[in-house]
Chains A and B, each alone.
Chain A
Amino acid sequence: MPANRPASEEPRLAVTRPPRVRPRRRVLALALPVPIVGLILLMATGNLLLPLRQVVTIEAKMASKRDFFQDPEVERLLMKHGFRVHITSMGSREIANQDFEGYDVVFPSGQPAADLISRERAESNRPVLLYRPFVSPIVLATYRSYAEALVDADVAEAQPNPGGRPMYYTLEMTPFVKLTEEGRRWSDIDIRGHGVENSNKILAQTSDICESNSAGTYLGLVAFVDNDNDAPDDEKEAARVAQEIKPLLVEQGLPSSERAETYLSPDGQSIAPISVIYEHQFLAHQIRHRAEKGAPDDERVLLYPSTRFVTEPQLVALTGDGARLGELVSEDPELQHRAMELGFRARNGNSGGTTGDELAEFLTRRHIPVPTTSSNDTRAVLPPLPLLEQMIKTVGDCPDRKGDVR
């Protein structure tokens, strides 16, 4: 088997035509002097899709969106199109922090890290192509007892579920953040009345704010709430808000990684009652649970922050093969359908307000409650990238990024 053939001996296929370039779902990172040259270079390294004859191994760096690429069905579909994806896993901001030499794509879970990358590459005249195959809101995942305690404390409200106990709750962010601010503990809001003993402080745990998109996004959310539902828009304001919210966000102490894995683990409730994760991670669990056990997981429930934010993971193509992969996952109907089955929302026809119709239909078919959004909910806005970066560094005491001039 010619498995270890050195690269130089690989038969090269002639490029007969460049990958189709359509403007939809694709953003050319910057309108700069040389993007055309870069684009041509990207195209020149592209190859034809030749299933079975030619399997391209894509080297990829990603964070939570590896859930998609590691799904066996997605792996099968990609293989059908001649792709295999090798994943290096790390936090989104950390992806932007490290070198991407030797990688075809990087796939941070949100826009800020992707912006950092495309800005940097553009500055070095190596522009990238960006693809946004799907979106997913940031949510606070918790357990029944904790959600009900928050309801009793008038901080959360259950979304009615005709078929049984509620699976979704709306969490009023202002009073919730205030609980943390006042140092209130779970025992103070009678968690014992819900059958659980816990005298830890009430807060939502995030992964490392210096490394992860979900944690940085949650910071943006708390900042928005703290700043009277407005994103800080100058350095002075950002500095003030960062100082104000820092005590709330560092109260959890040393952060642990892999929030979703911890949340879904059997000991999850003991380890962290509330975890900041993405909606797709929760829905994927419920879809799987329903398929395997015949009913959704009744103990794990979701808190939708009243101030909502929908994250847009961006696949950053660094090579021609990367661009072909980005194109494929954004356009291929089978892969798009599978993304929905994994709990992602389609990007088009859904700018963050309501569940995509397709996802809603799918959940209904599987007898899984469909989350609803209230028209009262506020849509949060993240501060501009440099300010968000500044706030992340202040709150997380993060080490300087590579290439930082200051």
Chain B
Amino acid sequence: VIVTITPNPALDQFYWVERVNEPETALLTRANQTLSSPGGKGINVSVQLKALGVDSTTMGFIAGHMGHAIEHSLHAAKITTNFVWTDGETRTNVIVIVKGKEISPLEVNADGPIVSQMALRRFQKRFQTALKRHATLMFGGSLPPGVPDDFYLSMIKQAQDQGLKTLLYASGQTFNQACPQGAWIAKPDLRERSEVLGKPVHTQEQVHAVGRQLLETGSEIVIMAHGLSQPVASQMVLTQEGVWDYHVAEVQPKNRVGAGDAFLSGMLFKLQRGEAVPSAARYGMAASIACTEAYTTTINNRAAIERALRRVKEDAL
């Protein structure tokens, strides 16, 4: 029923280290633990939904050895793929997490392969078919080179024209270009720039004001992360009916990557089951906490989410 679209997937390479050695001490730093996992917002949501027992299909552009690695890994997790192949090599993102500094990992993301015109045409064909098979479409992450800036805008419009529900989770210009279309759920990614539609989102008041502006585009639910320097970012959820803020006091962070995706997955999981927005958002926040406290980019397990649920604080604003 759900399809996730990640135009620019990545193979996320995680390295947990005791410390990063200074060149004067040693030229080599050894990792205590490593993880290689398929990444990108839509892919993360598909993996997390699977952990919650929900099947989805994931789409996007892949290329080269890394593309095969991603596809193989997703098939092993019994996730349905509908990728379009392009030239070059799918990107690798490197995340170095130093012990004691888990909340500020070194994250280096690559641009991704240049998507060919032929691959774009193929994607459009496969997307048209996907529109006939799915009720909910989630668009997430950056656009690789070669993909036009209005990619999400156009896809969301096509989905809305068929009466389908859409979710948009992206950053910067990619989000700004598509958000006027009023996706059912809109969530700007603020990790790179604390700005949406040219407006700053540093304080809770600013977050609230921009969230309100996004509601005016027609989105039914707007999710705004804030307090990004905390181990688990707080999430403000806005609808026409109310505004709620979700946060957590204490967390044992191991990996922040994927925590925003986990919020969306947890919330979507509950909304699909007919739960009200505040209840679904609480579950999303619990999923975000569970994800942060695990050595993976996905929700560890449902029991961990249930335990985290007790620690979620909710304020009606």
Q: Do A and B come from one complex?
A: no
B residues lining the A interface (CB < 8 Å):
none
